[in-house]
Amino acid sequence: MTEKRHYERVNFVEKAQVHCGNKNYPCMVIDISLKGCLLEFAQENFEQLCPDQNYEITLQLEGSDITLRFEGEKTHSHLHTIGFQFNSMNAESMTHLRRLLELNTGDPEEIDRELHYMIKQYMH
DSSP secondary structure string for all residues of 51-108: SS-EEEEEEEPTTSS-EEEEEEEEEEEETTEEEEEEEEE-HHHHHHHHHHHHHHHS-H
Tell me the percentage of the chain whose pLDDT exceeds 70. 84
- Per-residue pLDDT band for 11 (boundaries 50, 70, 90) equals low
Answer whether residue 1 is part of any domain: no
Question: Quick check: pTM over 0.85?
Answer: no
What phi and psi, each to the nearest 5 degrees, are found at residue 91? -60, -40
Please state the domain count of the chain.
1
Q: Is 4 inside a domain boundary?
A: no
Contact 42, 55 (CB under 8 A): no
Specify the amino acid at residue 45. N
Whichever domain contains 19, its CATH number is: 2.40.10.220
